[in-house]
Amino acid sequence: MVLFSEDHIQETRRRGRIEVICGSMFSGKTEELIRRMKRAKFAKQRVEIFKPAIDTRYSEEDVVSHDSHSIASTPIDSSASILLFTSEIDVVGIDEAQFFDSGLIDVCNQLANNGIRVIIAGLDMDFKGNPFGPMPQLCAIADEVSKVHAICVKCGQLASFSHRTVKNEKQVLLGETAEYEPLCRECYLHARGEDEQKV
Catalytic residues: 96
SS3 47: strand
The contact mask relative to Zn ion for 144-163 (x = CB under 5 A, - = no) is: --------x-xx-x------
Closer residue to Zn ion, CB minimum distance, 120 or 150: 150
> Closest distance between Zn ion and the C-beta of residue 192, in Å?
13
Q: Is 184 in the site for Zn ion (CB under 5 A)?
A: yes
> Closest distance between Zn ion and the C-beta of residue 149, in Å?
11
Closer residue to Zn ion, CB minimum distance, 117 or 163: 163
- Label residues 96-133 b or e (16+ Cβ within 10 Å = b): bbbbbeeebbebbeebbeeebbbbbbbbbbbbebeebb
Closer residue to Zn ion, CB minimum distance, 145 or 191: 191
> Closest distance between Zn ion and the C-beta of residue 154, in Å?
4
Closer residue to Zn ion, CB minimum distance, 95 or 181: 181
SS3 198: helix
How far apart CA 155 and CA 188 sit, in angstroms, is 11
How far apart CA 2 and CA 184 sit, in angstroms, is 17
- 20, 139 contact by CB (below 8 A): yes
Closest CA to 52 of 172, 140, 162: 172
Closer residue to Zn ion, CB minimum distance, 53 or 191: 191
How far apart CA 29 and CA 198 sit, in angstroms, is 32
Binding residues with Zn ion: total (CB under 5 A):
6
Q: Is 34 in the site for Zn ion (CB under 5 A)?
A: no
- 95, 131 contact by CB (below 8 A): no
Q: Is 2 in the site for Zn ion (CB under 5 A)?
A: no
Which of 91, 125, 150, 187: binder of Zn ion (CB under 5 A)?
187
> Closest distance between Zn ion and the C-beta of residue 155, in Å?
3
Cα 19 to the center of its chain, rounded Å: 11
> Closest distance between Zn ion and the C-beta of residue 126, in Å?
19
- Note the residues at the interface with Zn ion (CB under 5 A): 152, 154-155, 157, 184, 187
